[in-house]
Each structure stands twice: as C-alpha cells, then as structure tokens.
C-alpha cells in the first residue's frame, strides 16, 4: 500500500476539513497561507513560482546543530545576522502570505515528467504562486511520503497540547529525529503551547498565537516516520537512549500496532482517520538528563520568537539592554538565553505596532 494523490487529498480533507478543489493539474485542497507555509516547511512542498525549482522554506529555519548546545546552523541566523525568518522572506516573496493556497499532490516517475507537468500548468494558470506542489515519487518505495507523515504527526500532537517540530536537533551520534513534541508546563506561559515552533516566528506577520495546553506535566515525545519499511524501533531506541524523551512513537500510515509496549504509534486507520496509540510502559528516564534538556528547550524556543525582529530591531533591542554592540554569536546566545518570554513578546508588540522599539 502507498499514499497516492487521492489518499493524501482525502486524509487532509477528512482530518482537517480542508475543501477539495479541482485544478488543471488534478485535485487539491485549499488551506490558509499560514497552514500552507507550515506544510511547505515540513514536507518540502514548493510554491509554484518556478516550475523547475518551486520554492520551499524547508530546512531554512533551523537554529542549532545539536541539542544541549548553542552552535548555530545557517538558517534563521547566519553568524550574527538574522537571515531566513518568515518576516524577511515575506519581503522577498510577498506571495507567501497574501492569500489562501491550494496544495496539489502530483504523482510522477521522473523529474522530467514532473517538470513537464508543472511547466504546462504554470503557463496556463494565473497566480501560480498560490499553488503548492506536493511531490509523490511513484518510482520510490513508499512514494517518498515520510515528510507527509511528519506533518501529520506534528498537526496531530499539536492538537493534543504539545509544542511540535520535525527534524529536531539531537546529536551527531543519534541523528535527527523526524518528530519531536514538548510540554514545558513549568517553563512556559500556557499560550505558548499547542503550537508548531515555526508559528512563534509568524507573530510579526499578524498571525496570533492561539496555543493553550491541557497537559499539566513536563513530558517530551519523539518520533520516527517511515512509509517504505516498518523498521523504526532501532532508531527510536537510539533517541530514547538520550533519556530526554518520555515516549517514543512509530509514525507509519499502515502499521496497526506498536513494536513494543514502550513505544506508541501514530497511524492512519481504514477510514483514513489519524489514530494515536500511546505506549503502555514508558521507559525509565534519567531525571538529571531530562531536567537539563527541559532547560535547554526553554531557551531554544526563544530563538523562534527572536525571529520576529528585523536585524536593525534586534541590534537596537540588544544595545539598549546590554549597552554594547554585538560582536559574536556568543553575545547573542548569552543575551537571548537570559531574556524572559514576556520581555521578548513585549518588544515584539512594540515593533509590530510602531515599527521601532
């Protein structure tokens, strides 16, 4: 079994209520621009601004290489400069947030076949940037749909109260987990829960934070997504060996039960409804390791709020508080880590309303 175009459309329609739209390229689903942006970042689906290389922000908004460290990867920051923030991207590509979008799954066997389809559609369609192309690679086992399953995991667990992201930073030894979810009840205001991390960087663009968590405990989850095989346990065991996560999830559209009693499962049932099976016996953690990870996560989240500033605004914010210029990445890390969430949000409010601090 595979997730094909029709199945994808029905999953998005039945689970999230996105209307099905007929297009010259096939059926699609209509979503608001915020949803489209998150979908693009997680799945790599591209806006049809260029039929050869549709634009996607996937991979552009990373912050750190690994957990428990503060070494920047080029993404939201480039050295000491804010670079690929949604606000900056919106200036270069206004279409990202100007209207609703239509996600179209396109099946293909070769890149030439896909390019021919997109060229023809783009040539005969007005406002082609309002279309987001979901690649379905029929030549691959599983159709290359692991990122789509990552998206479903993020959206599902976000609705259960977690702060979520995909391709999370962990360590060189264990790799980058496909999915992570965090409940940091002791560290964060309740409205900073039930949200994708990227959404915290969209405040400046006028998008409200609507999060509110019903999870009162500190709890971290991690997931591995597959569509081409059922082997996820070995990799999840590596993630769980960090002692950071309370629960590990296998993420697979056609798996029907977890591989062990200490793993959960996020899957799709026969009616195309997303189903979550929680683990029966979470693995015992090292309290000290997890406490350090909670503290790191609380800082990590702040950088997505900082992404709401322009470079001039961030420099101004820094200098007014520190009374000195930024001279290194270490200056930024020390500054941001010592800010409270309320301080950052207050300054975001000021620049959003007045254009200056």
Chosen domain end from 110, 128, 144: 144
pTM of the model: 0.95
Residue 175 in any domain: the answer is yes
Same domain, 155 and 281: yes
* pLDDT score, position 339: 97
Residue 70 in any domain: the answer is no
- Please, what is the average pLDDT of the chain? 94
Residue 72 in any domain: the answer is no
* pLDDT score, position 357: 47
Q: Please check the confidence at residue 354 and state whether its pLDDT lies above 90.
A: no
Q: How many structural domains does the chain have?
A: 3
Mark 265-285 as b/e (b = at least 16 C-beta within 10 Å). bbbbeeebebeebebeebbeb
Residue 232 in any domain: the answer is yes
Residue 124 in any domain: the answer is yes
Tell me the sheet residues that pair with 133.
46, 104
Same domain, 225 and 127: no
Same domain, 183 and 262: yes
Same domain, 125 and 232: no
Q: What kind and span of H or E run contains 35? A: helix 33-43
Residue 262 in any domain: the answer is yes
Same domain, 309 and 332: yes
Same domain, 119 and 209: no
Same domain, 175 and 131: no
Same domain, 346 and 219: no
Give the integer Cα–Cα distance in Å for 190 and 197.
14
Convert 250-315 into a string of H (helix), E (strand) and C (coil).
EECCCCCCCCCCCEEEEEECCCCCEEEECCCCCCCCCHHHHHHHHHHHHHHHHHHHHCCCCHHHHH
Provide the residue range defining the domain that includes 11. Answer: 5-55+93-144
Same domain, 169 and 44: no
Same domain, 164 and 213: yes
Same domain, 49 and 35: yes
* pLDDT score, position 103: 98
Same domain, 228 and 193: yes
- For residues 137-158, give the mean pLDDT: 96
Residue 257 in any domain: the answer is yes
Q: Please check the confidence at residue 113 and state whether its pLDDT lies above 50.
A: yes
Residue 154 in any domain: the answer is yes
């Amino acid at each position: 079994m595979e997730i094909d175009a029709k199945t994808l459309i029905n999953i998005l329609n039945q689970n999230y209520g996105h209307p099905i739209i007929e297009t010259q390229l096939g059926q699609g689903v209509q979503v608001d621009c915020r949803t489209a942006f998150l979908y693009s970042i997680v799945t790599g689906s591209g806006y049809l601004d260029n039929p050869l290389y549709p634009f996607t922000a996937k991979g552009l908004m990373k912050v750190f290489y690994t957990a428990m460290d503060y070494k920047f990867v080029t993404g939201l920051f480039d050295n000491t400069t804010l670079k690929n923030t949604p606000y900056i991207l919106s200036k270069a590509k206004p279409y990202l947030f100007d209207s609703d979008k239509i996600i179209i799954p396109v099946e293909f066997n070769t890149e030439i076949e896909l390019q021919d389809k997109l060229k023809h559609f783009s040539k005969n369609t007005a406002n082609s940037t309002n279309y987001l192309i979901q690649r379905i690679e029929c030549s691959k086992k599983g159709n290359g749909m692991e990122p789509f399953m990552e998206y479903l995991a993020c959206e599902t667990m976000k609705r259960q109260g977690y702060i979520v992201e995909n391709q999370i930073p962990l360590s060189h030894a264990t790799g980058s987990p496909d999915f992570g979810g965090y409940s940091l009840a002791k560290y964060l205001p309740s409205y900073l829960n039930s949200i994708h991390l990227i959404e915290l960087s969209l405040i400046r663009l006028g998008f409200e934070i609507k999060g509110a968590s019903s999870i009162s405990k500190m709890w971290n989850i991690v997931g591995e997504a597959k569509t081409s095989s059922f082997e996820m346990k070995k990799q999840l065991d590596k993630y769980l060996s960090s002692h950071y996560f309370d629960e590990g999830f296998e993420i697979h559209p056609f798996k029907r039960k977890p591989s062990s009693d200490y793993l959960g499962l996020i899957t799709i049932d026969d009616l195309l409804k997303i189903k979550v099976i929680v683990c029966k016996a979470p693995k015992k953690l090292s309290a000290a390791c997890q406490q350090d990870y909670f503290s790191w996560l609380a800082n990590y989240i702040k950088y997505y709020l900082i992404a709401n500033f322009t470079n001039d605004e961030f420099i101004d914010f820094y200098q007014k508080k520190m009374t000195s210029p930024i001279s290194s990445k270490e200056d930024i890390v020390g500054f941001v880590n010592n800010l409270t969430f309320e301080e950052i949000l207050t300054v975001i409010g000021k620049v959003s309303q007045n254009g200056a601090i």
